[in-house]
Structure formats: structure tokens, C-alpha cells
Structure 1
């Protein structure tokens, strides 16, 4: 039994780490990938490709995690976990071999990422349940802590690994998962033993269709809400976006009413009557909003402003952004297992709530950051935020998984991960909207003033109309937006501007310098919203039951009794 539990922990941790690394690895790797497939990020429609390559993985996993978790309870968690390794490896090989160029190449990348996301969903839906099956309650917090922090740290490690490998060859970003996936597939098939009860129930087809349709439509609406629409800087006024948000929300509102009538529902709604499950799942979702949003905003701050201003080329900025994000990753790796062990002894509520409070304090301190900040100060704030998230994630996951009976662990794991992924995706829409709206009101005037000062006033009518999304993602993709704009303007207009002025405005630090004040004003608003979101998660975490997981059998029996009563 001792050997089996460590095999389960090591195997599931590798699987979750691989899946989450690949969820974030493209954040840093997109510049060389776009160059590799010969896709101009400023061409019409390229922005939508960029969003789908980034967010398609999260949308797919959000949609199918609960279904996979439910099927795993019925047919075997280890079996589905093994399938996950194999499918994920296949997706990685297809991505490495991507043959197309331009629009075709972008569509192939999106399709192959969907394959990868399906495999990742099999892994994430079952890892928590397999560990809970194999570890006694008094050790569960530590074991789930290692696994949960592997998932959280994987988001940060993906940024670093993507920066290193993409600097060599963009295809290596996908190839790195192949040997790990092959090893995991073989190892889990040979060594990992099935422990799930394999309950015999029918598949809830109406519930699956309703949930998938509602969530897909809603998340598509959120995604395209970021895309510019006609003369507007964002797409929230697009009738199709409004319709998607309305229909998606309506289907999800109808979903629980349909589920209550099903004999074997996909979504175990009765689990939300267990206080520890509800508080842990909701606080996990809301903390995920703050986590993903913060990571993306800080990376943009590094790549679009801080690194170019401090002498780093646009092309090298993605790599160095990954390096400078390391304090957050290290903090998660340090505090995750420690907090898991402490939660086994003292219970999860105090440690998880303290962790969220620490992260919230880091967010509010970030509001004081200037754009030309001292990196030591930023590194301390990143470490502080990462340590808080590490302290929260492990106890919270342990509390959620320990609060449900054995036959629902796959469903519970899928529900927990789904809510977290929905929070991640929603945060992208919320934070980017705040950023874009702020830039829309400030950036045109700032660009016009800077061009007049540089002696290039004739370019103001063209450059002042630069959409904020192009400004953000141009810098994000390692491209100087000014050079791109000049390359598409008529030669007569560009030649009418003095060469000294052209040299000034195309210099590495000119655009980041004028972009920075408007960006930071909007970014401070993002930090404040992220702080408020995290404080809400703090309050939800306080709501959880003050369980001491060292009394695992007693807690488990209490939940079983509650669950049996709820079923009846």
C-alpha cells in the first residue's frame, strides 16, 4: 500500500504538471510561433487566432472536465487517467508536426490544441480523486498539496519553459511534452492500480449537452468580447456577443433545474449542500480569477513596457519575462507542500484563508507600482503573491476532496477543476476589458502629444487611431507597433517626416515610454479589481467548516451521512 500511494502521487503529479505547463506555455511562445508559421499578427483576423490559441485550451477543459469526472466514477478513474496521457501525447506530436503556414497553420494549431486539451482534461479530472483514494486523511493534505501546487506552479513554469525553448525553435515548445507523455502513459498503465468503485449508472445525456452548450456559448461570448468590433475598441456591443452571453447564461441557469429531474445527474448538485465543498469550490474559482488575470497582466507589463525600457529587445522580452516571473513559481513550490502538511494537522480553514489574505495584500501593494519599478520590489511582491496562493491551494483542495464520499470523487474533482478553469477564462475577459477601456480613453491623446514632441505630427492621424488591442498584443508578441504601422503607410507620408523624427519614434524605448502611463493607470484598476475578487474568496474560505483532517475517518463519516440524507 505504501508503494502504491507514492506511485499514485508521482504519476498524477507528473500528469497535472505536464497539462498545466502546456496550458500557459504559449503565453511566452506565441511570438516565435507566429513567425514560424508566417502569420502577421496585425493582419485582419489574426487577433482572433491569437485568442483562440491561448484560450481554446481553457475553454475545452472547462466544458468537459465535469463529464470526464462523472464517467471516471462510472468506468474507472485510472483507466481514464491513462487515456489522458496517451491523448495528450498525441496532441503534442501533432502540434510539433504542424505543417501549415499562415491562416491554415493557425487553424491547425487551434485544432491540435483542442486534442491536447481533451487529454489534459482526462488528467486533471482524475488526479485529485486518485490521490484521495490512495492516501489516508491524515496524509491527504500533504499529498494533494504537492499535486495541487504542481498544477499551480505548472502555469508559471510553462512561461519559463516556453521562453527558453521558443528561443531555440518554436516546435520544441510542443515536443517537450512527448517523452514525458510516453513515460507517463506506460508507467501509469503498468503501475497505477484502479481504486474507484465503478458505480453502475446511466450517462446523463441531456445534462451533458445542456451544460456543454451553455458553457461553450458563454465562454465564446467572453472571448469575442475582447475582440474589437467596428469602431469600438472591444466587442461587448457586438449583437453576436450579447446574444452568446444571453443564450449561454440562460442555458446554464436552466441546467440545475434539468439536473434535479434526472435520476443520475452529471453535476452532483447535492454536493453543494456540503458546506466544505461549496466554500472550497467557490473560493477556488474566484481565486483562480485573480491568479490567471494577475499572471497575464504582469507578463504584459514586463514585455510591453519594463523590459524594452531597460534595454531588452522586443524579440528577447518573452524569454526574460519568464525569468523574471520565477519568484512567484518558487514561492508556490515552497509553501504548497508545507501548507498541505500543516492543514493535515490543524485543519484547512485558517491556513487557506491566511494564504488568500497574503495574496490580496500583495495585489493591493502592486497598485503603488510605477511603470519603471525597481525589480527587487516587484520580485518581493511576486513571491508574496505566490506564497499566498501556495498556502491556499493545497489545504483548499484537500478540504474539498475530503468532504465528499468515495463514489463521487471523480465528479467532485471535475467540478472543482471546472470552476477553477471558468474563473481563469472569465478573468481574461474581465481584466482585458478593464485594460482596453482605460487605454481607449487615454492612449490617443498620449500618442498625439508624443508625436508632436518628436517632430512627427503628420503621423498623428494614423497612429493615434491605433486600437489598444494592437498596441497590447504587438508588444506582447515581441513586435514594435510603430515599425509595423510605418510599413503599411504610403511612402509619401512617411518620407514627409524628418528622418531624425523617424529614428526617434522607432527606437526601442519610445513606444513603451508613451504607452506606459496609460497602461499603468488601467493596470492599477485591474489590481484593485483583483484585490476585491481575492477578498471575496477570503470571505468564502472563512465560511468553510473548521475540519481537522487528522480526524479523517470521523469527518468522512459525517459527510457520508450528510450525503446519504441528501440523496434520499
Structure 2
């Protein structure tokens, strides 16, 4: 049964009734469980990001020759999560959201333990880490697909924005907490980076098993969408694999877009994803409910969320590359310490989210999500433009203010947008709606990383050889141009991302007699903390500015769609028990 209700100033009796059936405190138990899952999942993503130098050193991998492992460790997690969210959302509507949520905790914890115990080194060790992170991604997809639905079930309508806002703050804060934790733990042992998730995973598994209740309305008539699953999973997997390998060198080309395998996978992936909506319109029980997009609030809010994630997903990686590879070394920080300090200098973004996330949720409960979410995207647009205008040797006060404003904008947008999506669908469809929302977000995040990486690699490919030759000429070392100008663009990008100077590695591979002929003053300059970052900046910044401008355009489009979503809209059904104990539905 579908009922669409325009809400003015009344609250849903239905959710209040269900809340009383479960007990007054249940909603907070559900929220704390979901927060643990959100923190665990988001910390895991960023803690790996910031700890990659220690991880690669720990398993004895040469960063300059292992760009493929970087991409897989970073993007494999998002790829697997994006492909599974829809299927898990549908399964949760059939078999229970809490059941799959608890299973997600267990699988994620097992993956974390295996990562801590990674037995091998070298290429085998890197492959094991990738495989165990994929296992983590399965667990993450299970609880991510159900978190918003569990909160929507547990909280009454007039408190959902606040609850989803706190959840979103936990998720986004975890991304930046992970940066600091990764920097600290990697100093001691790279394995601690993965061990930190284990106690929280055990706590979440045990507590959710003991305390969470299955209160969702199950769609008993729903079946597994076999053809939809095959088409979507195959299509998005091929597409994201093609994008991933398109970023890797192929033959003499700095990128792999001319690789026949990449072109074939890209073409087949696009065809399968293009066929997906037609299949979903014809199968009996589609897992991607295209009919939900007939609801204006659902359609516009999801579109705005997709564009926001597409613009913001790669932003963190670009900023970390800017800080670790350029700004921090130029300001006297050793390469070994840059991962930790990059996390510290990103804190204004976290603070902005923490401040605004709960406030925006409360405001959206009271006044509706439309203009709060729109204002957040406008602020993000301006923040991207400010970042694009800064030089590489920027004044940190200006940079910090831009990050803080971006955090404010993200906090203003995320919780009202999520609440409006979840409020707009029937209770029995919240699992699939949550899965659809998270699928769109995760797909956009993964695509955003690929898009930003592509922009930057293309830019460095065009600019780096000339910048290197010019920089060598300025210190009277033009004889080194044939050697250092041939550093692969991906190697230079990897250096920025991991915060290290590749010149030492390059020079150590040259004949001793050649190195001995280089004046000591020149060697000191080349291996110092300022020469390579300044050289890289001249090639890196034009592409980075282009990425920020694209982020501004996407945020601006998200603001427009957010403004067009309409006023507060609620699709609500009350569930009561009659005297016989039979469930029945009543329109609000």
C-alpha cells in the first residue's frame, strides 16, 4: 500500500506508536549501534589512506613501481561496497534489516583480524591486504545498506532528521579521525592500523545481537532479482575495473585508456548499465525500484546526493596530496611526519561537520530539508572556488577557513538530504531505499576518485617533464634532466600522495661514478624537502585547480536540484496490532 502525505505541522502517529511498542530507550540503542558501525567503516577507509607509506614499507613494496596496489587498496573497497549495497538492501527487506546488520559487523571484524595477521610480504602481501579489505567491504556493505533504514524505523518522524544527522556526523567525522589515528598508529606498527577496528567490531557484534530488535515490516512477497543483480553487479564491476586500470600505465603510455582490455570492459560495462533500467522495468521484483523515482523528493534528493558525492569524493585525496607532497615539506616537515600532520591540518573540515551535522538535522525536522540542504551545497560551491584560487604555498589561515566552510556545508546538506530520502518512501521499502541511496553515494565516491586521479595524471603528464627540466636548469644540474624528467607521472603522483621524495630512490639506482660527479650542494638541494615539492607543484597545481572547479560545478548543480525538490514530503504508514495480534496498516 502506498500513501503520499504532505506534512505541515503534524507528526506521525505511526512511528510514535511503534516506538512505544519497542520501549522508549530503544531508539537510542539503535542509534549507538549504528554510530559504532559508521565510525568503524569510515575510520577504516581514511586510516588506510593516511597509513599507506607505513603499510608499503611494512610489506616491503617499492612505491614507485606499485601504483596498481595503491589503486586497489584505495578503490577496491569502494568498488565492492558499491556493487553489493543494492542487493543487500533488497535482502534486508526480505529477511530483516537487523539480521543483516549484525552479520555485517561479524564479517567486517573477521576482515580486520585477517588484515592485522597479513602473513606475507612483497606482492603477495599486497594481494592479501587487497583480498582482506574486500572481505571488510562485504561487511561494510551489509551494515551501510541497513543503517539509515534501522534509524528510520526506530525514530519518530519529528526526530529522524536529528538521528540521521548524528549518524552522518559520525560517518564523516570518522573519515578525519582515521587520518589522525593512522598517522599515530603507523609510527609504531602498520598492523595496528587494522587492529584498531577489532574491539569495536566485537563490541558492535555482541551488543547488536543482544539489544537490536527486528521491527521492520518485511516484504514477504518479494523475490531475489536474479537478472537485475547479474546485470548491475557485472556492469558496475566492469566499469570500475576499466576505470581503475585506465589510470595505470600501459606500454609506453602513462595511462591505460588505450589498453584493449580497458576499452572492452568499459564498453561492456556501459552497455550492461544502460540495459539495467530496462530489465528492472520488466522483472517481477526489481531490486532498484525505479518507481520510487516518481516521488519528487526521493528523485531530486538522490540526484543531489549523487552529484555532491561525485564532487566531494576525490577532494580528500587531492587535499592530502597537496599537503603531504607539497605544502608540508615546503614548511619544514620531514617526509616521515607528513601523514600525521596532514591529518591534523585537515581538522577544520571535521570540526565544521561536527558542529553543523546535528544542528542541520534538528533544523530540518523543524523547518524541512529544502533550503538547509541547498544552503549547504552553495557553501560547498564557494569553498571549492576558494581552494582553487589558493597558490600551492598558501597561507594556512585561508586554507583552514575554506576547509571549515566546506565542513559546514557538508554538515548542512548530508543529514537533511538523507532524512528527506528515507521519509519519502513506505516503511516496507526502507531497506531497498537505503541501499539505493548508499549505492549512488558509493558509486559516485569511487567514480570521483577515478575522475580526479585522471585529471591530475593527465595534467602532470603534460606539465611534469618541462617543470623538471626548468627546475634542474635553475640549480645548474641540467645534465640530470634525461634521468629525472623520465619519472613516470604516476610515480610523481604517488610520491605526493605518500609524502616522500622520489629523487633519493632514482639516484640510488644510478651508477656510483655518475652520482659522485654531482656537486654536493646540488645533491643537498635535490634530496632536501623543498626542491622536489616546488617542482611537482608547478605541474600539479593547474590540474588540481581544474579538479576544484569541477567540484564547484557539481556542487552548484546539487544546490539547484536540492532547491527544486519541493517542501517537506512524507510517505508514512502506521503499523498497529489489532485485538487478534494481526498487523494492519493505516494511513496517517
Report the TM-score, using the length of structure 2 for normalisation: 0.92
Q: Does 1:68 align with 2:88?
A: yes
- Are 2:189 and 1:169 equivalent residues in the alignment? yes
Matched, 1:95 2:140: no
Equivalent residue, structure 2, for 1:85: 105
Provide the C-alpha distance between the structure 1 equivalents of 2:281 and 2:394, rounded to a whole number of angstroms. Answer: 53
Structure 1 residue corresponding to 2:51, chosen from 25, 29, 46:
29
SS in 1 for 2:255: coil
Instruction: Note the C-alpha offset of 1:152.
Output: 2.1
Task: Say which SS state the counterpart of residue 444 (structure 1) adopts.
Answer: helix
Matched residues, number: 551
Name the residue aligned to 1:123. 143
**Is the CA contact 1:314–1:475 (under 8 Å) kept in the aligned structure 2?**
no
Q: Summarize deviations over 1:268-304 as a string: whole Å, max 9, x none.
A: 1111111111111111111012222111111100000
Unaligned runs of 5+ in 1: 559-568
Q: Is 2:253 aligned against 1:232?
A: yes
The 3-state SS of whatever aligns with 2:389 is coil
Which has the larger helix fraction? 1
State which of 479, 503, 510 in structure 1 corresponds to 2:531.
510
For 1:398 and 1:503, the matched residues in 2 are separated by 56
Q: Deviations over 1:502-555 (max 9, x none)?
A: 22211121100111122112211111111011111111111212116xxx5xx4
Deviations 1:366-389 (A, max 9, x none): 121011111111111000001100
| Partner residue in 2 for 1:7 | 29
Query: What secondary structure is seen at the aligned counterpart in 1 of 2:215?
Result: coil
Return the match for 1:139 from 159, 172, 175: 159
Give the whole-Å Cα distance in 1 for the aligned partners of 2:163 and 2:521: 62
User: 2 CA distance for matches of 1:222 and 1:91?
Assistant: 26
Is the Cα contact below 8 Å between 2:427 and 2:572 reproduced in 1? Answer: no
Unaligned runs of 5+ in 2: 1-22, 575-588
Aligned to 2:562: 541
Kept in 1: contact 2:88–2:145 (CA 8 A): yes
Shift of 1:477: 1.9
SS of alignment partner, residue 198 of structure 1: coil
Report the CA distance between 1:557 and its aligned residue: 5.8
TM-score by length of 1: 0.95
Q: Which residue of 1 is the match for residue 579 of structure 2?
A: none
Q: Does 1:439 align with 2:439?
A: no
Cα distance in structure 1, aligned partners of 2:96 and 2:394 = 51
**Contact residue 475 and residue 481 of structure 1 kept, 8 A:** no
- Whole-Å Cα distance in 2 between the matches of residues 493 and 269 of structure 1? 65
Q: 2:323 aligns with which of 284, 289, 302?
A: 302
The answer (yes or no) to whether the contact 1:458–1:497 under 8 Å persists in 2 is no
Mapping of residues 313-324 of structure 1, within 5 Å: 313-324=334-345
Q: What is the alpha-carbon distance in structure 2 between the residues aligned to residue 337 and residue 242 of structure 1?
A: 45
Aligned to 1:566: none
Find out whether 1:367 has 2:367 as its counterpart.
no
Q: Residue 371 of structure 1 aligns to a residue in which SS?
A: coil
- Aligned-residue offset at 1:61: 0.3
Contact 1:211/1:255 (<8 A) preserved: yes
Tell me which moved more, 64-73 or 290-299.
290-299
Separation in structure 1 between the aligned mates of residue 233 and residue 93 of structure 2, nearest angstrom: 19
Match of 1:180 in 2: 200
Which residue is 1:220 aligned to? 241
CA shift, 1:470, in A, is 0.4
Q: Is the 8 A contact 1:454 1:505 kept in 2?
A: no
More moved, 296-305 vs 198-207 = 198-207
Root mean square deviation of aligned Cα: 1.3
- Report how far residue 426 of structure 1 moved: 0.8
Quote the residue 2:423 is aligned against.
Answer: 402
Is 1:40 aligned with 2:62? Answer: yes
CA–CA distance in structure 2, aligned partners of residues 543 and 228 of structure 1: 43
2:407 is matched with which residue? Answer: 386
SS class of match (2:366): helix
Deviation per CA, 1:473-518: give whole Å up to 9, x if none. Answer: 1232232111111112233332332232222211121100111122
Partner of 1:335: 356
Distance (whole Å) between structure 2 residues aligned to residue 377 and residue 538 of structure 1: 24
From 122, 126, 131, the counterpart of 1:106: 126
1:351-409 CA distances to partner (integer Å, 9 max, x unpaired)?
00000100110111112101111111111100000110000000000000000001110
Q: CA deviation at 1:116?
A: 0.5
Contact 2:321 2:498 in 1 (8 A): no
Question: Is the contact between residue 364 and residue 527 of structure 1 (CA under 8 Å) also seen in structure 2?
Answer: yes
How far did residue 230 of structure 1 move? 2.0
Give me the whole-angstrom Cα distance separating, in 2, the residues matched to 1:155 and 1:231. Answer: 36
- Structure 2 counterpart SS, 1:233: coil
Rounded Cα–Cα distance in structure 2 between residues aligned with 1:322 and 1:537: 28
- 1:189 counterpart (186, 209, 213): 209
* C-alpha separation in 1, matches of 2:470 and 2:145: 53
Q: In 2, distance between residues paired with 1:288 and 1:149?
A: 15
Decide which moves more: 460-469 or 147-156: 147-156
Determine the C-alpha separation between the residues in 1 that align with 2:177 and 2:76: 20
What corresponds to 2:231 in structure 1? 210
- 2:303 aligned with 1:271, yes or no? no
**Counterpart residue number, 1:531:** 552
1:244 equivalent in structure 2: 265
Contact 1:5 1:135 in 2 (8 A): yes
1:565: which partner in 2?
A: none
Deviations 1:429-488 (A, max 9, x none): 111111111112211111112112222222111111211210111232232111111112
2 CA distance for matches of 1:433 and 1:525? Answer: 11
Per-residue CA deviation, residues 398-427 of structure 1 (Å, 9 max, x unaligned), is 000000001110101011001001111111
For the pair 1:17 / 2:39, whether they are aligned, the reply is: yes
In structure 2, how many angstroms separate the alpha carbons of the residues matched to 1:327 and 1:364? 17
